[in-house]
Amino acid sequence: MVLGRFTSPVSFAYSCDFLFCYCFFENILFLFTVFLMIQKIRTYTHLGLQGYEIVVEADANNSIPSIEIIWLPDAAIKESKERIRATFRNVGITIPNKKFILNLAPSDIKKVGTSFDLPMAVALLFLIFEDHVFVPRFFGESLFFGELWLDWCLKPVNGLLPCVIDAVKRGYTTFFIPAENVYELEYIPWITLYPLAHFQQVLEFFLYGKEIEAVNQPKQLPEMNYNVVWGVDFQHIKGLLFAKRALAIAAAWFHNLLLVGAPGSWKTLLSKAIQWILPPLSFEEILEVSQIYSVVWKLHKDQPLILQRPYRQIHHTASKISIVWWGAALTPGEVSLAHKGILFFDELTEFPREVLEVLRQPLEDSVINISRVSGSIQYPANFMFVASMNPCKCGYYKDKDKPCICSFADIKRYQSKISGPLLDRIDMILEIPRTPVDNLLDDNLEETSANFRKKVLSARSYQQKRFQWLWLTANAHMKSQHLSEFVPLESACTDFLKEAAYKLTLSPRVIHRIIKLARTIADMEGKEHVDIPCLAESLQYRNRTFFVESE
């Protein structure tokens, strides 16, 4: 019947070619129209400290009017459609009676948090005003972050610092962020920030060309990072000269430390004083530590960045979960919050053994791996472990002045909470005697923390030169493959170490830690090579005579 319309087969062929071309161009036109209707806005999210680029795609059709958000949004993101509706209504924008689809790509990344409110609202804005001639802007090269409130104000979001740092590495330089988040980003160079107090600024910026005052000159770090205000000064701790020297050696690069002594022997005071002689953080370390605190909402306007090395003192009632991570979002725990600083366990034997055992992996690897059903995350955990303990329950085991009232079984049970593998990961085990009354009441001031800090900085300068071409930053972080290169031992030193290892039954891990500690002692003395006195002093700092297992 159709063929009867054509007078010849040739005319039929021509008609088929025309029909084919018509259908082809009609499909191309349709696809091109669909392409133009899809708006794409970019943002970022983070899992732990790892950033991921997220593309918000907005599309509309004539189905039942609604706003649908797809591809692994959490409950907070699903609720954002109501915040977007209220925002648009309050700024005078009428949402058409269409079905809007907001797609958060890629699909294999879980999207969490309220920072997606602004990019989704901007994508809808461009879709609704698709016929409007926008003022030429660079929104395709920018990232958007922000939480919308019902009164169209923009509120700050957490975890913005790791997102921006990762985005800068991938070439992004322009960021639209809540005005209250500027404080943690204004120290990063080579970026432009557009602080937004409310959504009306976005509308006026893209539709009417009204400028937003940008922040593109990085602020200088305050001098408080270098001018130390001494909290606990060594000059007020009488006596204990060997302990102070040991603490300076430990601080000269992150050697783990255990102080053992009777009650009132100033173990806790010495442990707190060590934080004031640590070297300052570099700018890279400041950003590295601040990213962790940004994830857990620890940054604020008065403390935009973490400028001092963290000092985390843990109470013995803490659970093993809080040490590693906390919350359903797998946020960093205490071992990560102490990154580049000190993790202090006072009264170590009061902690449950299961809590202490979770420290073994981060002490060895300087990272913590968290694996749960919701995902797997790795956080940095490069900290200096400092702990104090009594040798027994009464506290006077092997004390020279006061007898111990504990039985041998009680002492062994008390000390059994500290496993051998954990002790192997501690570089220095010091016995702290009680200070005699005569020394305690002496008015003479001793060497200050400022002088000890100068020695620490001097030793650190040697290590910076030694590791300038490596990722290493301290002697304590050297691996076994680095020892032969950076700590070559003469034959006499090797024989001395072999004899000590045989008599004291030292494990390979302990032998390596003794060599690394000897390298730090040599740096403190300004020596180019490790000699026998350095090895002997390093061995001296592993005093385990007060442990009943050594008897």
| CATH code where residue 183 lies | 3.30.230.10
pLDDT per residue over 315-358, tens digit each? 999 999 999 987 767 889 999 999 999 999 999 999 999 999 99
Residue 290 lies in a domain: yes
Residue 354 lies in a domain: yes
181, 207, 233 - which closes a domain: 207
> Are 355 and 320 a contacting pair, CB within 8 Å?
yes
- Assess whether 237 and 382 both reside in one domain: yes
Average pLDDT over residues 198-211: 90
Q: Interhelix angle for 160-169 vs 283-295, to 10°?
A: 130
pLDDT per residue over 238-297, tens digit each? 888 899 999 999 998 789 999 999 998 889 999 999 998 998 898 999 999 999 999 999
The encoded tokens of residue 234 equal 């060594």
Cβ-based neighbour number of residue 122 at 10 Å: 24
Q: What is the DSSP string of 108-162?
A: TS-B-SSTTHHHHHHHHHHHHTTTS-PPP--GGGEEE--EE-TTSBEE--SSHHH
Measure the CA–CA gap between 98 and 383, rounded to whole angstroms: 54
* Radius of gyration of the chain measured on its C-alpha atoms: 32
Average pLDDT along the chain = 86
> Are 532 and 493 a contacting pair, CB within 8 Å?
yes
Convert 504-526 to b/e letters by CB count within 10 Å (16 or more is b): eebeeebbbbbbbbbbbbbbbee
Measure the CA–CA gap between 522 and 389, rounded to whole angstroms: 29
Q: Is 428 left (phi over 0), alpha (psi -120 to 50) or beta?
A: beta
Helix (H, G, I), strand (E, B) or coil at 368: strand
pLDDT for 15: 40
Convert 151-167 to b/e letters by CB count within 10 Å (16 or more is b): ebbbebbbbbbbbbbbb
Of 149-163, 187-201, 229-243, 510-524, which gets the smallest average pLDDT? 229-243
207, 235, 264 - which closes a domain: 207
- Assess whether 262 and 161 both reside in one domain: no
| φ, ψ of residue 371 in degrees (nearest 5) | -125, 120
Residue 250 lies in a domain: yes
Helix (H, G, I), strand (E, B) or coil at 448: coil
Domains in the chain: how many in total?
3
CA 239, 243, 460, 518 torsion-angle sign: positive
| φ, ψ of residue 20 in degrees (nearest 5) | -65, -45
- Assess whether 260 and 352 both reside in one domain: yes
Element (H, E) at 19: helix 9-37
Convert 274-313 to b/e letters by CB count within 10 Å (16 or more is b): bbbbbbbbeeebbbbbbbbbbbbeebeeeebbbbbbbbbb
Contacting residues for 7 by C-beta, under 8 A, at least 6 apart: none
Q: Considering only CA atoms, which of 130, 135, 69, 128 is closest in space to residue 103?
A: 69
Query: Which CATH number goes with the domain that contains 470?
Result: 3.40.50.300
Distances from the Cα of 93 to the Cα of 86, 87, 89, 155, angstroms: 10, 9, 6, 21
Residue 220 lies in a domain: no
Maximum Cα–Cα distance for the chain, whole Å? 126
> Are 449 and 273 a contacting pair, CB within 8 Å?
yes
- Assess whether 357 and 481 both reside in one domain: yes
pLDDT per residue over 399-437, tens digit each? 888 899 999 999 999 998 899 899 999 999 999 988 877
Measure the CA–CA gap between 299 and 286, rounded to whole angstroms: 12
Of 17-26, 69-78, 469-478, 508-517, which gets the smallest average pLDDT? 17-26
The larger pLDDT score, comparing residue 166 to residue 8, is at: 166
- Three-state SS across 33-70? HHHHHCEEEEEEEEECCEEEEEEEEEEEECCCCEEEEE
- Assess whether 353 and 497 both reside in one domain: yes
Residue 226 has pLDDT above 60, yes or no: no
Average pLDDT over residues 147-165: 94
> Quick check: pTM over 0.85?
yes
- Assess whether 156 and 272 both reside in one domain: no
Amino acid at 535: L
Q: Interhelix angle for 532-540 vs 508-525, to 10°?
A: 120
Q: What is the DSSP string of 217-229?
A: SPPPPPGGGTS--
- Assess whether 24 and 46 both reside in one domain: no
- Assess whether 425 and 479 both reside in one domain: yes
> Are 40 and 56 a contacting pair, CB within 8 Å?
yes
> Are 250 and 257 a contacting pair, CB within 8 Å?
yes
Q: Considering only CA atoms, which of 231, 254, 268 is closest in space to residue 348?
A: 268
Measure the CA–CA gap between 430 and 411, rounded to whole angstroms: 18
Q: Considering only CA atoms, which of 512, 532, 531 is closest in space to residue 255?
A: 512
Helix and strand numbers (H, E) in the chain are 21, 18
> Are 348 and 318 a contacting pair, CB within 8 Å?
no
- Assess whether 28 and 46 both reside in one domain: no
Instruction: Quote the domain boundaries for residue 151.
Output: 38-207
207, 238, 254 - which closes a domain: 207
- Assess whether 23 and 66 both reside in one domain: no
pLDDT for 27: 44
pLDDT for 29: 37
The DSSP symbol for 333 reads -
